[in-house]
Amino acid sequence: MGKKIIIFDTTLRDGEQSPGCSMNNKEKLQFAKQLERLNVDVIEAGFAASSPGDFESVKSIAEEMKNSTVAVLARAMKNDIDKGWEAVKNAVSPRIHTFIATSDIHMQYKLKMAPEDVVKRAEEMVAYAARFSPEVEFSAEDATRSDPKFLAHVFDRVIKAGAKIINIPDTVGYTTPDEYFQFIMEIRKRSEYLDKAIISVHCHNDLGLAVANTLAAAKAGATQFECTVNGIGERAGNAAMEELVMIMDTRKDIYGYECNIKTEEIMKTSSLLTRITGVHVQPNKAIVGANAFAHESGIHQHGMLSHEKTYEIMTPESIGLSKSKMVLGKHSGRHAFKERIESLGYDLDKDELDLAFVQFKELADKKKEVFDRDIEAIVSKRAIESPETYKLVRYVINSGNTITSTAAVTLETSEGREEKVATGDGPVDASFNAIVKFLDTEISLEDYSIQSVTEGTDALGEALVRIKAADKKYTGRGLSTDIVESSIAAYLAAVNKMLEDRRMMQDEQEN
């Protein structure tokens, strides 16, 4: 048996900090549930002290997870630790992850603290966190630009104070594999207690070396990998979880490492994150990119037809890609639909299943063939959408290449139905302009894209819209065989998220 690696997923904390990747509480909980199906060891759910909304999402995730450890990030400050513990205390396995910067540049210019004061603060706050949490992780922010002798001293003090996991992050993505290996080995040599703790690493991808650096750290004794799905995160992102896992799975002969990840859930997890954030992975992205298992070259195709292993070092099925085509049609019943949903790994209650089945039937009436990806798109959308303050009733478009496009959009609210008419540069722009007339706030369209979920002229079109209002961004997603309808649905989904967010903020202020 190889060395066991702990997978610490920080998609919901560090990953969410990347531009355009913010999620609401319902989306975070939905994604956390998928991370648990993926069998992630530790889920870093967020930074509870940063906002009331983040506190609530961390708390709900901690209370819902049945197996995974739930970690909360906290600065080395009592208030952060108090808020963090309050959020995760009901988890099956809670962890407080506290940090302070240790590089000269951070201590001097950011913290404005002397090194001895940083050591004292770290020690005191780890001891304070250990009074509450059975697991305390300590991170030395900007570790790779810190003095290894100083780090060894800090780590010894915090381990004695109660830290069980020590994270040595490459916060700014500056180091290289050989350098990182030597750096960690030097700290281990200078530290009296580091080998009594779990050594963790958290690598950023600014130089494209996050995955390579993480593996180099494992050779130096690290047994916890901090990573994100699709590699999302601050700046150039973090080490990609799917790449690390599949390297360990494919190259056991080199690394000899094992982890608990269910690799067959990788593609589903990646796709769910894309649908929630609206941020697509590049087609040639390793493991989860659209071209990762595509073969266009004639030489490659000939080899594949002769034997798959000529050009594939892992199988599509190993990450959850299915070769099956059509699954269900308009004559399929509720029982068959329910079985297919369960086989795809979704667990819906009766009301969710009923709503998804209605949407499936509507789609089946429009399409000749319904694929697994169509069904997954329906189910994941139902699971993460916000309450519908505005609901589309109908729309009428008048458009052509010689006239100005006009859209008449009728929406339903708690007060009844109302129609607005607007013009625009094309049917989609006109529809968006009509929706804006329902609102009493300024909205700017930050991003808009549309792509087919499956193949064919009757393919389900998935629209992704990102709007900005009062310096906050909201992403919406819409599905339809009609691209104008899917665009309107996506825009309304983003608007409804914005309105729900404002309601929550108002409730927090009133309470």
Of 153-157, 201-205, 255-259, 383-387, minimum mean pLDDT range:
383-387
Which pLDDT value is given to residue 101? 98
Q: Which residue matches tokens 């819902």?
A: 64
| Equal CATH topology for 3-277 and 391-510 | no
Query: What token pair was written down for 449?
Result: 């894209």
391-510 carries CATH number 3.30.160.270: yes
Which of 9-13, 354-358, 500-504 has the highest average model confidence (pLDDT)?
9-13
CATH of domain 3-277: 3.20.20.70
SS (H, E, C) 417-481: EEEEEEEECCHHHHHHHHHHCCCCCCCEEEEEEEEECCCCCCCCEEEEEEEEECCEEEEEEEEEC
457 phi, psi to nearest 5 deg: -70, -20
pLDDT digits (tens, 9 = 90+) for 469-494: 988 889 898 888 899 999 999 999 99
Query: What token pair was written down for 461?
Result: 């079109």
Report the pLDDT averaged over residues 101-109. Answer: 97
* Residue 323 confidence (pLDDT) above 80: no
More confident residue, 19 or 348: 348
More confident residue, 1 or 244: 244
Percentage of the chain with pLDDT > 70?
Answer: 92
Do residues 193 and 227 touch, judged by C-beta distance below 8 A?
Answer: no
Which pLDDT value is given to residue 376? 77
Which residue ranges make up each domain of the chain? 3-277, 326-384, 391-510
Per-residue DSSP letters for 256-277? Answer: -EE----GGGHHHHHHHHHHHH
The band of 43, judged by pLDDT with boundaries at 50, 70 and 90, is: very high
The band of 41, judged by pLDDT with boundaries at 50, 70 and 90, is: very high
- Cα–Cα separations (whole angstroms), residue 232 to 160, 249, 284: 34, 22, 16
pLDDT digits (tens, 9 = 90+) for 133-168: 999 999 999 999 999 999 999 999 999 999 999 999
Which pLDDT value is given to residue 384? 60
Which pLDDT value is given to residue 224? 98
Which pLDDT value is given to residue 17? 78
Which pLDDT value is given to residue 310? 56
The overall average pLDDT reported for the chain is 90
pLDDT digits (tens, 9 = 90+) for 215-236: 999 999 999 999 999 999 999 9
The band of 325, judged by pLDDT with boundaries at 50, 70 and 90, is: very low
Per-residue DSSP letters for 189-232? Answer: HH-SSGGGSEEEEEBB-TTS-HHHHHHHHHHTT--EEEEBGGG-
Report the pLDDT averaged over residues 286-304. Answer: 62
